[in-house]
Amino acid sequence: DLLPDPQGATLWQILYGGQNDRAFITTMGLDTITFQDILNKGFKELWNSYAITRADIASDATPQAYRQSLDAPGALGLILHWLSSTMHDVSLCEIFALTPATVSRYIIFSLQILLDTLHRMEAACIRWPIGDEFQELNGLIIDRHLLLTGAFGSIDGLNLPVQTSSDENIENATYNGWLHSHCVSSIFVFAADGAIIACNLNAPGSWHDSRVAQPIYNKLKYYTPEGYYLVANTAFSGSLDIEGKIHVPLKDGAPLPQDYQERKQLVDFTCSLTSYCQTAEWGMRALQGSFGQLRIPLSINYSEFRGDILEVVSRLHNVRTRCMGINQIHSVYMPLWNDEEEFWIKLGSLQFSEQRRDDHVHYFHITASEEV
């Protein structure tokens, strides 16, 4: 049975009252200071300024915050719990003492408010470098890879599972023949400091990465100074109009110069590209490792809501990177998630029920056992 008062002694209220960084990061991916920062920079104001719509309440109705089951911190905690985990909704009901209908309604409403709040936050912004920022980012790279003069980031694609559709056109659009599964495709560009500086989200899974990346190619063509480039794998060879703006490692069997010095120089450069290209993989893993919802097949019927989820997690990734320090998170808090190493390696063969069983947020809270 649910506790009678969502703002009483619930599991959430105990967690929030403790103000423990380790607990906050394990369950919501943010420390206490960053959580409060999001509240103060718009989330609390928006939560108290708009009515939560339902069948008998219009969107322009007068908000009555005192009648809501959750206050602003509770609503932010709910949406962050949901984004960070793969747990069943029944667990969220127990943690926050809400009915299933209320959980569903609050998640939809809170996601939009969180997105609007992140749009206001400089730490959450996703923007292309300008001016001297290209050189600053390249400086971070050549400290470790001396040969990569001009590189300022890496680019890669991420295919996320999506539900199947009864509509044949949608079914064909989301089916990826290479992966033999239904998915949506997104492209991310990670700067040398770990932040996302460009992305194209929620494209049909049947599209090739180079097609999804067209808006980013335009940024390379029109908004990137000469001599600067992204590092990518061979799926992003680009076109003649952005020649030199994307560098990829040599393919196996590619012809090499006859001259030893030229050959060695080219091989060394390729090795540096291959090494730095892994940063995009680390970025993808940071997204999937931090936001459990990305491991559950996304809804096929609500494309706009799906796009909002992807944008929110992208902006939250930047908040975590810029406000909390991505290296600090990895060294101090990532051991909390390292138990899932085997889970990640075997992700393609795992059953959906196993994803829920391995959920790190689920283990933090003591709730009723779930049948999976």
pLDDT at residue 314 is higher than 90: yes
User: 10-42 pLDDT, tens per residue?
Assistant: 999 999 999 999 999 999 999 999 999 999 999
According to the model, what pLDDT value does residue 352 have?
45
User: 245-255 pLDDT, tens per residue?
Assistant: 999 998 877 78
Report, as an integer, the average pLDDT of 262-274: 92
Quote the DSSP letter at residue 197: E
The answer to whether 175 and 164 have CB atoms below 8 angstroms apart is no
Question: Is the model more confident about 13 or about 58?
Answer: 13
Question: Is the model more confident about 360 or about 120?
Answer: 120
Give the domain ranges of the chain: 11-120+351-364, 125-299
According to the model, what pLDDT value does residue 4 have?
73
Of all residues in the chain, the percent with pLDDT exceeding 90 is 56
Strand partners, 246: 230
pLDDT at residue 369 is higher than 60: no
- Axis-axis angle for helices 303-319, 100-120 (nearest 10): 60
Distance CA 196, CA 185 (A): 16
Res. 370 pLDDT band, cuts 50 70 90 = very low
pLDDT at residue 338 is higher than 90: no
Written as one letter, the residue type at 293 is: Q
According to the model, what pLDDT value does residue 356 have?
56
Helix (H, G, I), strand (E, B) or coil at 246: strand
According to the model, what pLDDT value does residue 348 have?
41
According to the model, what pLDDT value does residue 31 have?
94
User: 174-196 pLDDT, tens per residue?
Assistant: 988 888 899 999 999 999 888 99
Mean pLDDT of the chain: 84
**Other C-beta atoms lying within 10 Å of the C-beta of residue 57:** 13
pTM listed for this prediction: 0.85
